[in-house]
Amino acid sequence: MDPSDPAAIAAFVKLLVDGYEAARIANYLAVSGMALVAADYIHTFPDEVRLMWPTPWSLPKVLFFALRYYVFINNIFAAIYNFPINSSTSQCKAAFVRLAISAPLLFIMAEAILLVRVYAFSGRNKWMLAYLVFHFLAVHAAVIGLLAKFVMSVRFDPLPFTDLPCFPTAANGSLLGTVYTIVLGSVVVVMFIMMWIAVRKHRAFNNRNPLLTVFYHDGVFYFITLSALASANIFMNYTAPEAYKLLLSQIESDLHAILATRMILHLRGSVETTDDAISTEGSWRPIQQKKQRDRTADAMNFSTAAVYKRRQHHGVNVPMEVMTGQQARGDGVMVVTTKDVYDYE
């Protein structure tokens, strides 16, 4: 800045005022996001204990716990960047880079959870798997490359006043806008795939099937929420003043984690409500109520997604992989858990 140029001085003062106001709003949003994550954790912890802890480890379970608990680490990084005052430019840059590396990990894990579910509900189709792997790698390679360029474009200049938080004085917002455009495009593509699966694969199923209902209800809600946030971030990065471009980034990261983990809990909870356990003491017993039996058989047939080999046990259709995949408990009771109808190793 040229100290003899009044226009440059006025622009710098405006940048300081806008930056301080944006940092204040960003702090409010960051605290709101942290409170939302904490409230969601407290609310869903009993479901986590009941539905996730007893099941064997699998890819969905690893992704669930990684995302479920890493969001707290990411919020710590956000707090280290947002809240301290009187930080040097190097400290601000280091905190920003740390957060810029951490936040995309939430999106990557959330997207992986969604794509695993789409693959499972497609009937474990190998062509679908090939496309989803390509989709995942292409999207995240582009996102990581653009984010790296964006982070390099961010600059923190010394501020003439003390007691100010970190905020960038320059950044190429169009790069971050392109990142959110790719995120929006990815969500739209996955939503169309889900619609295609609904029409082509599962039109014969009664729409009262709880697994179908949960899968598509959560998928649509996920699509609408993240599309709205991605669109808002695109608008902010292309049109908002420099200081406001990052305003909604943190809240979108938090919602990615919350929605993705809730999707798994809702699906497993729906399996539990369809009588997810069939027990025996030395031999298989029929489920006592035919209505429950039929509903359970439908749920298993759908949610095991490509398991067509079945055997009859007292009139109850049970997938062979479900039977052979169980480990007998010490009391001789064999249990068909939510793992058998959702985890697809």
pTM (2 decimals)?
Answer: 0.76
Please tell me the distance from the alpha carbon of residue 24 to that of residue 45, in angstroms, as a whole number. 31
CA distances to 79, 193, 240 from 157, rounded to whole Å, are 20, 46, 20
Set out the domains of the chain in order of their start, with CATH numbers.
Answer: 6-273 (1.20.1070), 290-342 (no CATH)
**Residues in a beta bridge with 237:** none
The per-residue pLDDT for range 147-199, each reduced to its tens digit, is: 999 999 999 988 777 788 888 888 898 999 999 999 999 999 998 998 888 77
Q: Dmax of the chain from CA atoms?
A: 92
The per-residue pLDDT for range 259-298, each reduced to its tens digit, is: 999 999 988 887 766 544 433 333 333 333 444 444 434 4
Please tell me the distance from the alpha carbon of residue 217 to that of residue 261, in angstroms, as a whole number. 15
Coil/strand/helix, residue 177 = helix
| pLDDT for residue 77 | 96
Average pLDDT, the chain: 78
